[in-house]
Amino acid sequence: MNFTFQIISPADGEWGIELSNGSYNGMVGMLQRKEVDMSLSLFHVIQPRTQVVDFAFPLVIWYVRVIVHRGSPEVDPWGFLLPLTPLVWITLLSLLLMVISVFIVLHKCFVDKTLPRIKIGKIIYCSIRVLLQEDLGVRSVSEWWWWERVLLGVWMMIMLVLSQSYTGNLMSLLAVRYIPMPIQTLQDIVDNPVTLIVPTGTTVARTFLDAKSG
């Protein structure tokens, strides 16, 4: 292309940060002193640097990530609760109590006001078996009223849908081992005592050095 070039590396091996006297070291300093014509590297475009050099249109979008030690797989004894959120578990238990209460109230209103304990126990027993996806058997509900069977059928449909969702999520959790990652965001770094390694002469290091608080 009818031009020649020479590759020069800065003697201090730095990218270029502002010194106390207002000058820059590294590659930015070489540009400031006109020792080179241009520099091609992964520079951060920050306001202080724009006072001494001109930046071209970004050629590459570079994402800064935090690298931490990889955790070890852990076995959670309460892992069977993870497929559903706490709110869903609370709602599920509330529905169970509501179904049992509706059974008892309707039975007292339309069948027998003096509901025997054995009937209450049978209602609770069948409702919990539906929750656990257990077989009820024909004899268990053969003597029930039609509205009791309808209510029990609705409860079974709700539990069928919920159990399918629970089973799928549980299988996914069992297939992938749980590895704790304590550092996910910059706020986690602030909240946890960590040893931070930052390359010298970079804008990240300069940001920490110039920080007044935080």
pLDDT tens digits for range 197-212: 777 767 777 776 676 6
Tell me what pLDDT residue 91 has: 92
pTM of structure: 0.47
DSSP readout, the chain? ----------TT-----B-TTS-B-HHHHHHHTTSSS---S-----HHHHTT----S-S---------PPPPP---TTGGGTTS-HHHHHHHHHHHHHHHHHHHHHHHHHT-SS--HHHHHHHHHHHHHHHTT----HHHHTTS-HHHHHHHHHHHHHHHHHHHHHHHHHHHHHHS-----S--SHHHHHHS-------TTSHHHHHHHH----
Q: Kindly give, in sequence order, each residue whose CB lies less than 8 Å from that of residue 26, ignoring residues fewer than 6 positions away.
A: 10, 12, 13, 14, 15, 16, 17, 201
Tell me what pLDDT residue 45 has: 81
Tell me what pLDDT residue 139 has: 61
Q: Where are the domains of the chain?
A: 1-71+183-214, 79-175
- The list of the chain residues with pLDDT below 50 reads none
